[in-house]
Structure 1
Amino acid sequence: MILLKEAPKSESKVPKKRKRRVSLLVYISSTLLAFFVGIFMTILIVGLNSRTSQQLDTSSAGFSKISQVYQTISQQYYRKTDQKKLINGAIKGMVNSLDDPYSEYLTGSDASNLDNTISGSFEGIGAEIQKKGNYVEIVSPIAGSPAKKTGLKANDVITAINGHSTAGWSATKTTNKIRGKKGTKVTLTIKRDQQSFKITLKRDVIPVKTVNARIDKQHPTVGYIQITSFSEPTFKEVKTAIKKLRQEGAKSFILDVRSNPGGIMQQALKISSMFVANGKTLMQVKARTGQPTVYKAGKSQDGGFKVKEPVKVLIDDGSASASEIFAAALNQSANVELIGTKSFGKGTVQQVSQLDKKSEFKITVAKWLTPNGSWINKRGLTPNIEAKYPGYAYLPMVSDQKTYQLEDVSSKIKTLQTELKAVGQDPGTINGYFSATTQKAVVAFQAANNLDQTGKLDTATIDKLQTEITKKISDNDVAYDKAVEQLTK
């Protein structure tokens, strides 16, 4: 998301009943509330006038109609009504009428959860979500999180949680149902393309560390920096990583923002500025009226720390929001090549206003644009060099709740046959039929991995097979290999 955070003001300067949030006024470019570390938004610290330029005429016919309906329901409905419910319903109705998945009215714990996402770590599964149609979909799983380890992917649709349909749920409600204490489990029903499956995840504390760095083993002049989110320490972590990699011999860098759902906007701008010449545009924010606000590279952003070595940036469909701001800035203002697959495409901006201590609402107020003025919303950034993982990386997850054996027929068996072939076991014709050849491949796989040689695709075998596939995907990183190739040729 893109959050706009306003610096604290004196309480006496803002009337209590008209006050917008003092400690947190936000711009958000994604609707989701993190159920991992709660700062996977893009936070922009600026000041906003707490009064809008256009005030509602409370004597207008429209406002009078709202008041009349409220009074009629309060006084004449055949059962006693709850004043708070009526008011909340009216506000929700107005917000919902915008037909905007990123505008939402929040009350009670939903509102406090949004506030809590500004700092600290959270216990959950490590995935960012957003409302899409009647359901909620995953924007990106976080590196090292339960969601990532179990194979959840961008664009997976969550259709049920612990057996309860999520149809019509908001992103906020979905988030609250998924979050929970470390060590507890949650079962999600996932729709991926035309297939549906269940997956049980064990919640964990998602680490706050946002940067991982190393020297490439085969090419010691290439430094690799993975940025998993843009949170408060990320600028310092990236700066420290670059200094350390330089000392270890790095002469060029690969910056990996794949599966990075966003973060604090200032951090994205500060890090982008490291790689962009002073005075060059980093991004633009355009409200409904007026000229865009332009953010440029300079010492005020990066503190004078610059990176002039050759650089490549890795992106994929899980790179969203602040990640796209970062990638677009380097691509368009520093001629850095993007390698991978098209990014998510998150280009709108929301503002969150506090109505009282227990309620607030967020509403789309602007677009953010790339340095050349492009709006990538729903389109994403197209890489200069397309590089995909092998085909088996895009297979649907197979639930381990069922055992498959000789003579069974299922689309799930077809997926598992493909995985067996990917790990070096020949299942015969890949058609979903559990043949004798497939059984032989299963036995060979079980033997190689110290499993009971039942010849059946049981829970332990399916789990191990998908673990091996995940490892194989990591070991066959086409985009990374292409970046190394470009930097060392």
Structure 2
Amino acid sequence: MAQKKRKRQVRLPIFISSVVLAFVVGVFGTVILLTAHFNAQTAATGSYPAGFEKLNAVYQTIDQNYYKKVSKKKLMNGAINGMISSLGDPYSEYLTGSDAGDLNNTISGNFEGIGAEVQKAGGRIQIISPIAGSPAKKAGLRANDVIMSINGDSTSGLTVNQAVAKIRGKKGTDVKLTIKRGDHNFNVTVKRDVIPVKTVNAHIVKKQPTVGYIQITTFSNPTFKEMKTAVKKLRSEGAKSFIVDVRGNPGGLMDQALKISSMFLKNGQTIMKVQPRTGQPEVYKASKKQDGGFKITEPTTVLIDDGSASAAEIFSAALNQSAHDPLVGTKSFGKGTVQNVTNFKDKSEFKITIAKWLTPNGDWINKKGLTPTTKADYPSYAYLPVVNGKKTYQQGDVNTNIKTLQKALTALGQNPGEANGYFSPQTEQAVKAYQATAKLPQTGKLDPATIDKMQVALTQKISQNDVPLEKALAQMKK
């Protein structure tokens, strides 16, 4: 039974699906026993909940009287999907065929794709967070971006796994996405690659050599071990305090979040709680069993943003509410539910939300997120949409992309005039000035080469102006 639990724990999370599925650990056995009991009781008594007679009547009528033959399996799947859809829960889903297959490609090994975790939201596919260092991150995709189409095909009505199947592909191939960000739609082409599996990156902060910077990109199988290695190395290099960065971390395995949180807490302090529909919440606490006796007692600050989700929020809340470590950044994503997956004999799978998870203080952060102790955000230009670099714009043109590029030019030190979408003579002069500094032909036109160069330069400037990190470092000097 223990081996089965472990297997399910590894299978459930998927970078481009809902990683909080990993919360099945600890409650999975109870759910399986209840399900088995219900099935046995139903089979023995032949009784069904009130209303099932109507469902059966509709099924029989369609099967016998519809003007053309209908697959019985299709009818049953439709009934099941209808019940699940009525929940209005993006994390509860019935998976059949290929959709129910491969939920096991991410946490424990390499996979090829774009590296973005997504969820179902409002009938579309929404990005929870792009993984640090992934093609999605490099292409400028952000948390809360909505994928409207994949290679020209609408995502309306797609399940998460259907979208995953369309987005993933061999390294080096392209996938074209139409993205809705706020009120703007834009196209972006992302080149698929092998998604990085190293989950912890660390270094000494050069200008404050007693501060160790640790970035956790996801919570997967090697994260606990990588975290211990990183901390030991930073200590040997002189670190006396730590900044742990979980911005853009879409979550991962619950056991890893528990182990790593336990490192920073005193034994007996609460990490999180799982609240089922009835009964008392199950409380998870820091202990030697969780962290193996490896403790981090140095002053610590955690960086969060709207891409910090699920397991990243468990970790952040534990350090903030139990260890009283400050959170710096922007409000986190807000993923506070627990899922369980049931396998059927026909290889279909039923994923259902079975519980809430709560912070040490008993807060349910679902759709609300964690509020940072100190608010700090990137400059406004960090949130500009990605512009499709296949068109050329010149003086006299009017386009929403031109408005975005005018804002980008301003951020890059040029003066294009009012950012209103009109390609004015002043904008042309600003483009020429930028082209001169970028060592491009000074045409004054926003051609693909210029647009690409601008967006790369803007990405570099964003990374060089990490306001939240600077605030965290300033706090550590006090």
TM-score for the superposition, normalised by structure 1: 0.91
Q: Which among 34, 38, 45 is matched to residue 25 of structure 2?
A: 45
Q: Secondary structure at the match of 1:432?
A: coil
**Equivalent runs, 1:465-476 vs 2, <5 Å:** 465-476=454-465
Q: Which among 272, 283, 290 is matched to residue 283 of structure 1?
A: 272
1:450 deviates by 2.5
Answer whether contact 1:406 1:439 (CA < 8 A) is retained.
Answer: yes
1:419 deviates by 0.8
| Match of residue 409 from structure 2 | 420
Amino acid aligned to 2:413: G
Answer whether contact 1:7 1:45 (CA < 8 A) is retained.
Answer: no
| Match of residue 8 from structure 2 | 24
CA RMSD of aligned residues (A): 2.1
| Match of residue 461 from structure 1 | 450
| Match of residue 338 from structure 2 | 349
| Match of residue 8 from structure 1 | 3
1:297 deviates by 0.4
Amino acid aligned to 2:29: L
1:352 deviates by 0.6
Cα distance change on mapping 1:25 and 1:469 into 2, 3 Å: closer
Answer whether contact 1:34 1:40 (CA < 8 A) is retained.
Answer: no
Q: Which among 322, 328, 344 is matched to residue 339 of structure 1?
A: 328
Provide the rounded CA distance (Å) in 2 between the counterparts of 1:462 and 1:472: 15
Q: Secondary structure at the match of 2:450?
A: helix
- 1:162 counterpart = 2:151: yes
1:77 deviates by 2.5
Give deviations 1:380-403, integer Å, cap 9, x for gaps.
000000001011111122221221
Q: Which among 211, 217, 228 is matched to residue 200 of structure 2?
A: 211
| Match of residue 200 from structure 1 | 189
Structure 2 unaligned regions, length at least 5 = none
Q: Which moved more, 1:99-108 or 1:364-373?
A: 99-108
1:43 deviates by 4.9
Answer whether contact 2:389 2:447 (CA < 8 A) is retained.
Answer: yes
Q: Which among 232, 244, 252 is matched to residue 241 of structure 2?
A: 252
Q: Secondary structure at the match of 1:200?
A: strand
**Equivalent runs, 1:279-428 vs 2, <5 Å:** 279-428=268-417
| Match of residue 18 from structure 1 | none
Q: Which among 92, 98, 112 is matched to residue 87 of structure 2?
A: 98
Cα distance change on mapping 1:174 and 1:114 into 2, 3 Å: same
| Match of residue 34 from structure 1 | 15
| Match of residue 17 from structure 1 | none
Amino acid aligned to 1:51: L
| Match of residue 47 from structure 2 | 59
**Equivalent runs, 1:72-151 vs 2, <5 Å:** 72-151=61-140
Provide the rounded CA distance (Å) in 2 between the counterparts of 1:217 and 1:127: 31
1:70 deviates by 2.7
Answer whether contact 2:264 2:296 (CA < 8 A) is retained.
Answer: yes
Number of equivalent positions? 469
Answer whether contact 2:95 2:350 (CA < 8 A) is retained.
Answer: yes
Answer whether contact 1:27 1:43 (CA < 8 A) is retained.
Answer: no
Q: Which among 152, 156, 168 is matched to residue 141 of structure 2?
A: 152
Give deviations 1:333-384, integer Å, cap 9, x for gaps.
0000000000000001111110125200101110000001000000000000
Answer whether contact 1:420 1:426 (CA < 8 A) is retained.
Answer: yes
Provide the rounded CA distance (Å) in 2 between the counterparts of 1:317 and 1:80: 49
Give deviations 1:426-449, integer Å, cap 9, x for gaps.
213332221222112211222222
Amino acid aligned to 1:281: T
| Match of residue 13 from structure 1 | none
1:425 deviates by 1.8
Q: Which moved more, 1:454-463 or 1:89-98?
A: 89-98
Structure 1 unaligned regions, length at least 5 = 1-5, 10-20
Provide the rounded CA distance (Å) in 2 between the counterparts of 1:75 and 1:296: 57
Amino acid aligned to 2:447: D
Provide the rounded CA distance (Å) in 2 between the counterparts of 1:480 and 1:422: 20
Cα distance change on mapping 1:227 and 1:218 into 2, 3 Å: same
Amino acid aligned to 1:400: G
Answer whether contact 2:200 2:215 (CA < 8 A) is retained.
Answer: yes
Cα distance change on mapping 1:95 and 1:228 into 2, 3 Å: same
Cα distance change on mapping 1:337 and 1:375 into 2, 3 Å: same
Q: Secondary structure at the match of 2:101?
A: helix
1:59 deviates by 2.6
Answer 1 or 2: higher relative contact order, Cα 8 Å, separation at least 6. Answer: 1
Larger fraction in helix: 2
Provide the rounded CA distance (Å) in 1 between the counterparts of 2:435 and 2:428: 11
1:23 deviates by 4.1
Q: Which among 224, 229, 235 is matched to residue 218 of structure 2?
A: 229
Answer whether contact 1:222 1:252 (CA < 8 A) is retained.
Answer: yes
Q: Secondary structure at the match of 2:179?
A: strand
Answer whether contact 2:9 2:24 (CA < 8 A) is retained.
Answer: no
Q: Which moved more, 1:359-368 or 1:38-47?
A: 38-47
